[in-house]
Amino acid sequence: AKDPTADNERLRRKFIERAKHYIGTPYAERYHKPGDPLYGKPLYLDCCNLIRRCVQDLRADFGFDLGDWNQAYQFSTLPDAVAFGDLRPGDLMFVEATYRSGRHKQQRMNIVHVEIFLGEEFGTGPESTLGSRNRWGCVEVHDSFRYTSQFYDITNVFWRSLDPWCAGRCDAALLREVYGKHD
């Protein structure tokens, strides 16, 4: 008989391993100029594209692809909140924030960023995450989920369980009128 708990843990590990495969991948080409070592690379992954790419790479395991929408969409498909003390590696961190100024368009539900929780088992310590946080940098492991941004003021951090995705469920529970259904 299949063991759903073991399958869930196996998929979480694969998800983290796949994300680690992209360590060193730059955030976005538009932040680099010719001559910059990160200019002209074959692949760029911002925060939500990293998550989307990992799920896409593991489509046979997850049973779906994420839509082309951003981190607010990903947040809306993971309804199960998790307290920090109950996090498991692979759970996702979503950052709620407001932009200070400039040409930044406010995001749906003010969700501006997403990262993967690693913890001590897969990361560098109990607050460790993996993500593409720096526009001029690359996908990397972060010692802590705590950070400040020069572009926005963080108002909240939401932790979401990866369990629905591990069970093959990806339905935009929030903002259905915006995101609708997909495969």
**Average pLDDT of span 146-172:** 94
What confidence score (pLDDT) does residue 173 get? 66
Q: Look up the pTM and report it.
A: 0.91
User: What is the bridge-based pairing of β-strands 152-160 and 140-142?
Assistant: unpaired
**Average pLDDT of span 100-125:** 88
| 93, β-bridge pairs | 115, 159
Q: Which pair of tokens denotes residue 52?
A: 């989307």
pLDDT at 142 over 90: yes
Dist CA 113 CA 154 (whole Å): 10
What confidence score (pLDDT) does residue 183 get? 39
What confidence score (pLDDT) does residue 182 get? 44
